Amino acid sequence: MVSMTYRDALRRAIDEAMAEDDDIVVIGEEVGRYGGAYGVTKDLIKTYGPERMIDTPISEPGIVGVAVGAAMTGLRPIAELMYIDFLGMSMDQLANQAAKIRYMFGGQIGVPMVLRTQGGTGRSAGAQHSQSLEGWIMHTPGLRLAMPATVADAYHLLRHSLTLPDPVVFIEHKALYAQKEEVDLDAPALPWGKAAIRRRGDDLVIVTYSRQLRFAMEAAGQLAERGVEATVIDLRTLNPLDFDTIRMEVERIGKAMVVCEGVLTAGVAAELASRITEECFDFLEQPVARVAGEDVPIAVSPALEAASVPGVDLIRDVGERLVRW
């Protein structure tokens, strides 16, 4: 067992993968000399040099476009975008090229790249640096999507992402980088695309991912003090989505809520709630509850920022109402 932060786990995953595979290169703004916007690639340039730790101009379309071309021609790039909010500028390269090339070429060529980026609130970074845009990725066939919530998953999911033949979007919540845990990285990891049941109960199912797992677990602890025992499912990846685990627990318990930081309208929570309703309808005792972000741009004010996304109190209160109805 070792104690490490979420940031350290990501760096270790990249370091080990680069040591094993000379075709892995890192591409992005300030990933080399500066060490990445959140310090994930710090000091790696000392080991791998500027030929593999490639600092780019400030051009998100250029970063993703170069990564797509490099992946198609034999390398395995890790591209970093400082914030997921900048994804819009590179959606043509990502959604129209990376996601579709395998299909357009009949499987003869793939795009084995990982796009690392940071999302979410918690740092008063404002409306253009705080969004949760995983719904954009989940909506695009051909893109894999990982959103680790724990230190161990940050390591294992990134390591696994760097073995896949298809493009992976790897979203790290900016409020998790300093999270520290005792982990055994040599212990067997869950398979890629498999959800984790982090807590078991018989009264309610809470489905979540990324930083909201921390809030859901704390809320579940408070619910237990009030006599409500919740099962908490950490999805870990949104594509592939382990709906079998969701279905099994919802059919067993009959009450479910989905907790996401992204906005409520047409977001991940809406998709999951709809699918649970369609596929588990005969087992549901209550409508599926959606707990998600407000449909507003994120404010700089810490108080307003916190009020715009789910927190422990909201998750706890919605869960209790769902069970008491």
Q: Please, which residues have CB within 8 angstroms of residue 176's CB and are 6 or more apart in sequence?
A: 6, 149, 154, 210, 211
Going by their DSSP bridges, the two strands 114-119 and 53-55 should be labelled as: unpaired
Given a contact cutoff of 8 angstroms between Cβ atoms, the answer to whether 216 and 206 are in contact is: yes
Catalytic residue among 16, 20, 30, 60: 60
Dump strand ranges (E) for the chain. Answer: 2-5, 24-28, 53-55, 76-81, 114-119, 144-146, 168-173, 180-183, 196-199, 204-208, 230-234, 237-239, 256-263, 289-293
Residue 132 tokens, joined: 């949760």
Residue 228 and residue 224: Cα distance in Å, rounded? 5
80: phi then psi, degrees, rounded to nearest 5: -115, 125
Residue with tokens 């930081």: 261
- Going by C-alpha positions, the residue among 35, 56, 57 that lies closest to residue 45 is 35
Could you confirm whether 160 is annotated as catalytic? Answer: no
Q: Which of 29, 80, 129, 305 is catalytic?
A: 129
Gap between the Cα atoms of 161 and 215, Å rounded: 26
Q: Which two tokens mark 142?
A: 């051909």
Residue ranges in 75-181 assigned as alpha helix (H)? 91, 101-104, 134-138, 151-161
Note if the bond before 57 is cis, omega within 30 degrees.
no
60: annotated active-site residue: yes
- Catalytically annotated residues: 60, 129
